[in-house]
């Protein structure tokens, strides 16, 4: 028999609304001593089955739900196939598969696809798996097998990149590596909206590429012709390539990582417009302080400033300082693309920080667009916390 989590009276409401998290404070007792990451039953005091999920004894989230209701069953090989096939079918309906223009997309977006703690990104014929929970980490063999069933011969290899995301105290010395297939050793080029990018999932950040900015990069391209563009926190230069291809007069890319700058320069070469591009391996705030040039379009896309509520106030101050510095480098009538991927910072709080920056800079500004993540990063209606990416496009006088 599987272990059982019994909830306190009155703590079942969120599960009945299909919210996928059970917090430790909602638990009355834990029966049969489940191991870390084990699939468990979740019941009421009266013995009613509310669903099943992965158990965790560390942190505030004690169970991440995989299925709901009295008919819920522990995951089997068929469970994983059905879940991944459902996620793949959605991406097919979104026209993100089987096209020559785009062969990079997110297949599984954790709670948004009913698989809390799991991220899977697809780069052509390679799937990159990233587990953010012990349960998903221990299910990697089943997940890899299910991927092969769903994709068949369209998949050359599956790479696990969970060592930086899975709670280390529960799994020991997690190492990245191939779950299926192997590395070819060759440069891997993917296509996004017809633009070519070199992707390094083995040593790059996240799974190798920031797929979540695809639609926002396309919007930036509409405004780039003839403009002088500064792309900060550029990573692999996604916004830079779109601007170059769209006919920007010049594009400058800034990132503190020399490796990121090298990838940006390689991607600028793939665009065939490298002569209009320059890259700077510098801290962004230092660059903005030491360079007096004005730009017609500026991108501020920093990493998450806050990963928990305790860091939120400092993050808001950081966004204010960064945006004030960025606005100061915009020519009159310039456009600012500014983003936050801090989940604990709401769109309203982020907009308030940008407002404070504009006031400090003494520049009138109008909001042209409010931006978010693309459709292959879906947000469950029952889990609004999954909406992490927020952005604004401002016209600054």
Mean pLDDT of 297-309: 88
Angle between helices 77-93 and 140-151 (to 10 degrees): 50
Helical (H) or strand (E) element with 79: helix 77-93
Mean pLDDT of 70-77: 96
Mean pLDDT of 166-188: 86
68 contacts 18 by C-beta, under 8 angstroms: yes
Q: Return the minimum-mean-pLDDT range out of 50-54, 187-191, 311-315.
A: 311-315
High-pLDDT (> 90) share of the chain, %: 89
Beta strand spans in 115-165 (E) = 118-123, 126-131, 157-160
Tokens of 173: 């010395």
DSSP letter, residue 69: S
88 pLDDT more than 90: yes
Question: What pLDDT does residue 169 have?
Answer: 65
Cα 350 to Cα 107, 180, 320, 330: the distances in Å are 28, 41, 9, 20
Question: What pLDDT does residue 311 have?
Answer: 85
Question: What pLDDT does residue 142 have?
Answer: 98
pLDDT confidence band for 304 (50 / 70 / 90): confident
Mean pLDDT of the chain: 95
Question: What pLDDT does residue 296 have?
Answer: 98
pTM as predicted: 0.95
Mean pLDDT of 244-263: 96
Mean pLDDT of 308-333: 92
Tokens of 323: 């945006």
Helical (H) or strand (E) element with 54: strand 49-55
pLDDT confidence band for 204 (50 / 70 / 90): confident
Rounded to whole angstroms, the Cα distance separating 45 from 23 reads 16
pLDDT confidence band for 309 (50 / 70 / 90): confident
Question: What pLDDT does residue 343 have?
Answer: 86
Mean pLDDT of 209-237: 97
The three-point CA angle 123-372-161 to 5° equals 35
Task: Identify any residues that bridge with 251 across adjacent strands, giving them in sequence order.
Answer: 229, 277
Domains and CATH numbers, the chain: 4-68 (2.30.130.10), 77-189 (3.30.750.80), 210-396 (3.40.50.150)
Task: Identify any residues that bridge with 277 across adjacent strands, giving them in sequence order.
Answer: 251
User: Catalytic site residues?
Assistant: 341
Task: Identify any residues that bridge with 369 across adjacent strands, giving them in sequence order.
Answer: 393
Question: What pLDDT does residue 198 have?
Answer: 95
Mean pLDDT of 108-125: 97
Mean pLDDT of 110-128: 97
High-pLDDT (> 70) share of the chain, %: 99
């Amino acid at each position: 028999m599987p272990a059982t989590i019994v909830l306190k009276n009155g703590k079942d409401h969120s599960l009945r609304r299909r919210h996928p998290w059970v917090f430790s404070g909602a638990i009355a007792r834990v029966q049969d001593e489940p191991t870390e990451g084990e699939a468990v039953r979740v019941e009421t005091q009266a013995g009613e089955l509310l669903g099943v999920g992965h158990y965790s004894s560390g942190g505030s989230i004690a169970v991440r739900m995989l299925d709901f209701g009295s008919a819920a069953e522990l995951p089997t090989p068929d469970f994983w196939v059905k879940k991944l096939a459902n996620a793949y079918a959605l991406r097919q309906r979104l026209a993100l598969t089987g096209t020559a223009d785009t062969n990079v997309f997110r297949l599984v977006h954790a709670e948004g696809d009913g698989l809390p703690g799991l991220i899977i990104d697809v780069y052509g014929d390679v799937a990159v798996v990233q587990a953010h929970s012990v349960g998903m980490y221990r299910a990697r063999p089943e997940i890899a097998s299910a991927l092969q069933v769903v994709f068949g011969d369209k998949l050359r290899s599956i790479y696990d990149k969970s060592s930086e995301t899975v709670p280390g105290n529960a799994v020991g010395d997690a190492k990245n590596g191939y779950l299926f297939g192997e590395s070819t050793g060759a440069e891997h080029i993917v296509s996004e909206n017809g633009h070519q990018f070199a992707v390094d999932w083995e040593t790059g950040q996240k799974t190798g590429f920031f797929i979540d900015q695809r639609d926002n990069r396309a919007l930036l391209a509409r405004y780039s012709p003839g403009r002088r563009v500064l792309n900060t926190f550029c990573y692999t230069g996604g916004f830079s390539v779109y601007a170059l291809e769209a006919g920007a007069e010049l594009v400058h890319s800034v990132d503190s990582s020399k490796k990121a700058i090298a990838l940006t320069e390689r991607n600028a070469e793939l665009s065939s417009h490298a002569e209009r591009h320059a890259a700077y391996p510098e801290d962004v705030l230092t660059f903005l302080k030491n360079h007096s040039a004005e730009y017609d379009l500026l991108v501020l896309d920093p990493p998450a400033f806050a990963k928990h509520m305790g860091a939120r106030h400092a993050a808001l101050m950081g966004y204010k300082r960064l945006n004030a510095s960025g606005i100061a480098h915009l020519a009159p009538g310039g456009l600012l693309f500014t983003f936050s991927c801090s989940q604990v910072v709401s769109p309203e709080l982020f907009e308030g920080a940008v407002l404070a920056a504009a006031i400090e800079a003494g520049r009138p500004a109008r909001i042209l667009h409010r931006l978010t993540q693309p459709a292959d990063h879906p947000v469950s209606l029952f889990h609004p916390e999954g909406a992490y990416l927020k952005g604004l496009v401002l016209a600054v006088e």
